[in-house]
């Protein structure tokens, strides 16, 4: 729901890289409006974006985690202490109280774009 509202109102799309800059099943970190965004390419097609900040290690590292799934939910494991985050919602799968922000992301003409609601 959120994503749709965002798109229909004030979303500004910022191109960060080519799709091919992200190897399948890995992540990269992009700087978007001074924020660190971790973008993951799951399989060939699916893209997800969450904050790069790992609240458990207080380091900006989530883009370097291993991508996979738990019970079908796409997720990334923090490279420092290995907590898992739901890529779609930002929820921590190992600690229900923790959630990292998510961002909208899309591919246009083989370019990866991150949505920003900030003006």
Partner 1 sequence: MAKQNLVVIGNGMVGHKFLDRMIAKGATQNWNLITFCEEPRIAYDRVNLSGFFNGKTEADLTLVEPGFYQDNGVQMYVGDRAIKIDRDHKCVTSANGITISYDKLVLATGSYPFVPPIEGKDAEGTFVYRTICDLEAIAAYAKTCRVGVVIGGGLLGLECANALKNLGLETHVVEFMPRLMPVQVDDAGGLILKREIEAIGVSVHTQKTTTKIVSENGRVHKMTFADDTELQTDMIVFSAGIRPRDDLARDCNLMIGDRGGIVINESCQTSDPDIYAIGECALHQNRIYGLVNPGYVMAGVAADNICGVDSSFDGADISTKLKLLGVDVASFGDAFAKTPGARELTISDAIQGTYKKLVVDETATTLLGGILVGDASAYGSLLQLMHNKTTLPPHPEDLLLPPRSGGENALLRVENFPDTAQICSCNNVSKSDICNAIRDNGLTDLASVKQCTKAGTGCGGCVPLVTDLFKAELKQAGIEVKNHLCQHFAYSRQELYHLVRSSVSSLEESQQIYTFDQLLQRYGQGKGCEICKPAAASILASVWNECILNPPHVGLQDTNDAFLANIQRDGTYSVVPRVPGGEITPDQLIVLGEVAKEFNLYSKITGGQRIDLFGARVDQLPHIWARLIEAGFESGHAYGKALRTVKSCVGSTWCRFGVQDSTSLAIALELRYRGLRAPHKLKSAVSGCTRECAEAQSKDFGIIATEKGWNLYICGNGGMKPQHAQLLAADLDKETLIRYIDRFLMFYIRTANRLERTATWFNKLEGGMEYLQQVIIEDSLGICAELEAEMAHQVATYDCEWKATINDSTKLQRFRHFVNSDQRDPNVIRVEERGQLRPAYEHERQLLTIGQS
Both tokens of 56, joined, read: 């458990």
Least distance (Å) between residue 37 CB and partner 1: 9
Interface with partner 1 includes 98 (CB under 8 A)? no
Q: How many other CB atoms are found less than 10 A from the CB of residue 88?
A: 14
Report the relative pairing of strands 111-116 and 105-108 from DSSP bridges: antiparallel
Q: Which stretch binds partner 1 (CB under 8 A): 1-9, 79-87, 95-103?
A: 79-87
Q: Which is nearer to partner 1, 11 or 68 (CB)?
A: 68
Both tokens of 36, joined, read: 């660190």
81: helix, coil or strand?
coil
> Closest by alpha carbon to 81, among 98, 58, 51?
58
Interface with partner 1 includes 79 (CB under 8 A)? yes
Q: Out of 3, 13, 55, 66, which residue is the one contacting partner 1 (CB under 8 A)?
A: 66
Distance CA 92, CA 81 (A): 13
Interface with partner 1 includes 55 (CB under 8 A)? no
Both tokens of 106, joined, read: 């899309």
Least distance (Å) between residue 75 CB and partner 1: 8
Q: Out of 51, 77, 100, 105, which residue is the one contacting partner 1 (CB under 8 A)?
A: 77
Both tokens of 97, joined, read: 């109280």
| Site residues for partner 1 per CB under 8 A | 16-17, 21-26, 28-31, 36, 39, 42-43, 57-61, 64-72, 74-75, 77, 79-80, 82, 84
């Amino acid at each position: 729901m959120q994503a749709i509202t965002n798109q229909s109102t004030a979303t500004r799309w910022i191109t960060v890289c080519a799709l091919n800059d992200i190897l399948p099943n890995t992540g990269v970190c992009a700087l978007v409006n001074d924020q660190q965004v971790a973008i993951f390419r799951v399989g060939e097609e699916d893209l997800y974006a969450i904050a790069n900040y790992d609240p458990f290690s207080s380091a900006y590292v989530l883009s370097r985690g291993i991508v996979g799934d738990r019970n079908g939910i796409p997720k990334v494991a923090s490279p420092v202490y290995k907590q898992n985050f739901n890529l779609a919602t930002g929820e921590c799968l190992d600690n229900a109280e923790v959630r990292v922000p998510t961002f909208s992301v899309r591919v246009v003409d083989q370019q990866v774009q991150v949505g920003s609601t900030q003006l």
